[in-house]
A and B are shown apart, each in its own frame.
Chain A
């Protein structure tokens, strides 16, 4: 019994210590003054790696999710004779929830795990240490561009996801199932509010992007520099990011839309 209490206490202390380390780490990354001349090309390269290379999975997933929403929405709404509201349903679902959340989950799996593995391997092969010994701060040279790239790329990916999803829903609803195109777009325009829906969804994706990128770079930087350590850190990145995104989504939704 005492052993169990002791191990729970140890786990609690480990979690608090890890949170403390990640906070100090973040402060270290963000405290540096960006150097536009050297920093900008590094940032662009990372935006390409974490953003542009994630486009395929985001576009394909968005298309299929939009198409499924179209099918499911039509099936349910046609029972009530209101299949014309399918455009409104697809747009609100994607812009408010599925766009930011699913993109963040995909982002954590595709780009987050790659970031963790890359940084972890740089640590294991002493590349980060050698950078330090050359008088180059790895927090600014390696970590900061990756963190900012995730922060910038994620909201753009979420917007692309929603746009492609709406288009996929339109393909199924209008082109295949024969919903009147005018009511599809008209209902959508009249019910989706730019500030309440689009901007709130965008803010969610900004928060998710920051959290996912932070978790990914921290797990890489903090990992035990062995194969098992990198493997464990990569798994943690995906698990922690997914849980953080889903938990934060509930909190943000309650704050943004919980005006009951």
Chain B
């Protein structure tokens, strides 16, 4: 992908608690596009976002964001780089002691010296973009799961970032809320020219909006390409994941001793 890559990972190795999460992952995420990172639960998709955001450091390998080598950045430079990033957490991660309006205003108040009336207008514009201008007085405890994520989305675009990372945005959402989020992610990407990284295991929704996708399993990328290329991918493991088959290269049964022996039928002696 070369110079068009906004994020570039090369031979990234990362282990935690003695378990190897990534075993030499190489991936380029194109600028201005939606890239979906998919894979079964527990494969380290969220960990990948944290490596990109500099919250974790790889054991070895390179993580570059907009030309900056993230693991080598000084604390001050890392925080400056993060001002260009937005991240939508799975839980929304709204500040529970602040109202919807103040949550969205938070990054503006911290990072800019804009006058109050301008902050007011920007916050309302961002809330309008996610359809929640009327909910600005509510507290996070009064919001539904879908509304929480939309407010968090408004907050993450408050500073007009270049990159936005979505951590499981569709998990646990009803069909309407899911449809709203799919529309928002697509519209925000096209209207703001964002680079979007979407981590999810919801295959149809992710493939419907992404320009490029990759599937991670067992610390490796097992398939990548455009949605059409992935759907025609020859790997059985990729097809098992995309079609949600219960058995295949990833077995239904956890490895166990011979069944006859376990049930005391004498067959496994």
List residues of chain A with CB under 8 Å of any chain B CB: 38, 125-127, 129-130, 132-137, 141
Contact = CB atoms under 8 A, between A and B. Distances in A.
B110 interface: yes
A125 B95 CA distance: 9
Given A38-B110, A132-B55, A127 B93 contact: yes
Contacts of A38: 110
Contacts of A133: 53, 55, 82, 85-87
Given A133-B55, A133-B82, A135-B80, A127 B95 contact: yes
3 smallest CB-CB distances across A and B, nearest first, come from A130-B93, A126-B93, A135-B82
Contact of B82 (A125, A132, A141): A132
A94 B88 CA distance: 53
A137 B85 CA distance: 15
Contacts, number: 51
- Chain B's interface size range is 20 to 34
A118 to B, nearest CB: 9
A134 B55 CA distance: 12
Contacts of A126: 89-91, 93
B83 interface: yes
Nearest to B53: A133
B116 to A, nearest CB: 14
A126 B167 CA distance: 12
Nearest to B85: A133
Contacts of B95: 127
B253 interface: no
A130 B89 CA distance: 7
Nearest to B84: A135
Contact of B96 (A127, A134, A136): A127
